[in-house]
Chain A
Amino acid sequence: MASSVLTDSRWIARGAERTSLSRFLLWLAPWAALLAVGVYAAGLCLYHGLNQTNMDNRFAFGLWIFLDLGIIALGAGAFFTGFLVYILKRAELKPILNTAVVVGFICYSGAVAILMIDVGQPLRAWFTFWHPNTHSMLTEVTFCISCYLLVLSLEYIPILLRNRQLRKLPSFLVFEHQLHKLVPVLAGVGTLLSFFHQGSLGGLYGVLRGRPFAFRNGIFIWPSTFFLFILSAIATGPSFLMLIVATVEKVTGRKLVPQELYRRLGFISGLLLAIYVAAKSVDTLIWLNITSPSEGFAPWQFYIHKPFGTPILFAEIVVFGLLPAFLLSYRRMAAHRGWLLCGAAMACMGVLLNRFVLTVQTLAVPTLPFDEFLSYIPSWQEVASFAGVIAYGVILYSLSYRYLTLFPKGDETHVSGN
């Protein structure tokens, strides 16, 4: 029975049980406040310039670039799930397809927003397309990310148009139907774009000859980091999706996807993570024994600066690489939901640690004899913008979960009171 005057039930899909509007608004309120602070901080950065940050000419990659690389890697679940479902015809992953698209859209739009603040001069944003630096991998990244965000928007539109009220417009519903039929084309394009921009994001560190801690040899024009970034992104994308779905299940008290799907995602993630760890280990050994010495550097000297010692390298490869690969892919461990999610969380932390090392640690360690170890603490404006993107993601996902159909109705079952 309807008890409150303020209700949004007409916007909620038929048969979907959602919490009351007042409780939902209460949930959104702190995130909206955080987003407001983030927008204010971003406004300060855009209005006053990058003097609002603690970055400078020597420490030009800070929290924002770490966030960009991190969320773009975690958002890889979108293109990879689309690739598995539409190209490899793995229909069992369909229940998480919509959530993968929404998460991907949030990650990429958040990354583009932060990039716009980081680059500054938004009125000249088009310069990057019209006067691109043809020798920079960032050009490829810019083009691919822009195009892929467009693809994700087009994949998001059919989900949006299926909203209970929007679908009442026949033209919307038919357009949704026709666009949905063409989504496999978009999934193919998305895979191509993602493959290149994930790779180029890694590649642009690998080509930094002036930063021997990051510099790598590779194949043709692509340093090894190009391939490692692709591998690590597709390995952790499914893990991140698992974590998102598990969190939503916990918050809403509903079972949204079958447990078998978790195991399937875990196995895919674990297997790819194992391949990544093997490749990363070989790459590290080559760098330690060949690349770095050939450039005139003793590789271990990069690890004498605390807190960036060898434990970080160990953590990256073993604790957040090999261990989660085992937890996710070993059948007995993956049978326990707790271990499975623990493995997924560790895999995500591993990819974030890798991006942190390549951005912050690369710039912090000295290269030239007169260089000093640089330390950098982000300003409140940087942290607030960062937090604003997180809040944006939570708000957009919450709205999508409430008003759109992200999971098949048959799979959505009540678990506990909420």
Chain B
Amino acid sequence: MFPGIDGFHWTIGHIVFLSLFFAVVATIFMTVISAVWRTNRDFQTHRAAALCWKSDFADLPEKDRRCRHELAGRVIRRTCDNAFDCRHCEKYSQFAVLPATRRAQSSGLHYPDDRFYHRGHTWVKPEEDGTVTMGLDELATHLIGDPDSWVMPTVNDEIELNQTAWRIQKNGKEIQMRSPLEGTVVAVGSPREGWYLKIRPRLDLRDPASLRHLLRGPEVNGWIARELERLQMQLRAPNTPPALADGGTMLPHLMDVIPEADWEIVLADTFLGT
């Protein structure tokens, strides 16, 4: 069949068949090699993190992909199709000028106005020296309580937007905290200090678009109200039908108080896990 093998003849039939066969085999292998090469290139050019996040984002339930303008009450209903990247959203400016109808409700959780909030329940606070501080928001702190341990990056490490910035262990579960911003780590904190990381952002914070992807003001109110509703559903007692909220404030240390809850799902939903 093949040259040098018994039965091979230099006939048109053999040559056409072999050419077709090797063309097919070459195409298959080139496809795989191309995929491997592109994968390697994506890691070298820092595109891998964005691709991973886009894939994770596409996997989020639709109710978790609500547009910030819906959260603020600027539009009735809109699903984000841009992986929460308002920095490059063509529709952002169109809706941002609309009046926000969402009013602040008393949730018992404190969300200071000097911070910007990521949907993975981390916050960013710009400092005067050009760095930013990152930490866990109030809802996440109430949920986790005191972490059993935490794994932090080291100074000078590069962290990428929406990728894991630090890890927290609690009751045998590992929680990956998504980074609200890309940059270089300049200092490492701890839960006791109320902040986890200080980074020097890769983007110039003087550009107002640099933090545009993070939530502020009425958007935060709408977002937290929905998060509390979700938690109320997920943490209700077994075999209890859904009930309307009856006020009250969120208890701290929920992972310790309600250990029987399906924390795998609750934590994945809360921290945009996979």
Contact = CB atoms under 8 A, between A and B. Distances in A.
Interface residues of B, number: 45
B14 interface: yes
A177 B264 contact: no
A365 to B, nearest CB: 32
Most buried by B among A139, A176, A178: A178
B274 A167 contact: yes
B10 to A, nearest CB: 12
Contacts of A3: 238
A89 interface: no
Interface stretch (B54-62, B95-103, B138-146, B208-216): B54-62
Interface of A is mostly: helix
Interface stretch (B34-42, B222-230, B244-252): B34-42
A170 B28 contact: no
B5 to A, nearest CB: 6
Given A1-B238, A173-B51, A147 B28 contact: yes
Contacts, number: 107
Given A131-B7, A170-B52, A2 B260 contact: yes
B27 A174 contact: no
Contacts of A178: 34-35, 38-39, 42
Interface string A1-17: 11100000110011100
Given A132-B1, A185-B31, A409-B61, A2 B261 contact: yes
Contact of B7 (A134, A164, A189): A134
B24 A174 contact: no
Indicate the size class of the contact surface on chain A: 35 or more
B1 A150 contact: no
B25 A147 contact: yes
A380 interface: no
Interface in B23-75: 24-25, 27-28, 31-32, 34-36, 38-39, 42-43, 48-49, 51-52, 55-56, 59-62
Contacts of A410: 62
A178 B35 CA distance: 5
B21 A174 contact: no
Nearest 6 Cβ contacts at the A-B interface: A178-B38, A179-B35, A178-B35, A2-B262, A1-B238, A175-B39
Interface of B: 1-2, 5-9, 13-14, 17, 21, 24-25, 27-28, 31-32, 34-36, 38-39, 42-43, 48-49, 51-52, 55-56, 59-62, 238, 260-265, 268-269, 273-274
26 contacts: A1-B261, A2-B261, A9-B264, A14-B60, A14-B269, A14-B273, A14-B274, A130-B1, A131-B7, A132-B1, A132-B7, A134-B9, A140-B17, A147-B24, A150-B28, A154-B31, A167-B56, A170-B49, A173-B52, A174-B39, A178-B35, A179-B35, A181-B38, A182-B35, A189-B24, A189-B27
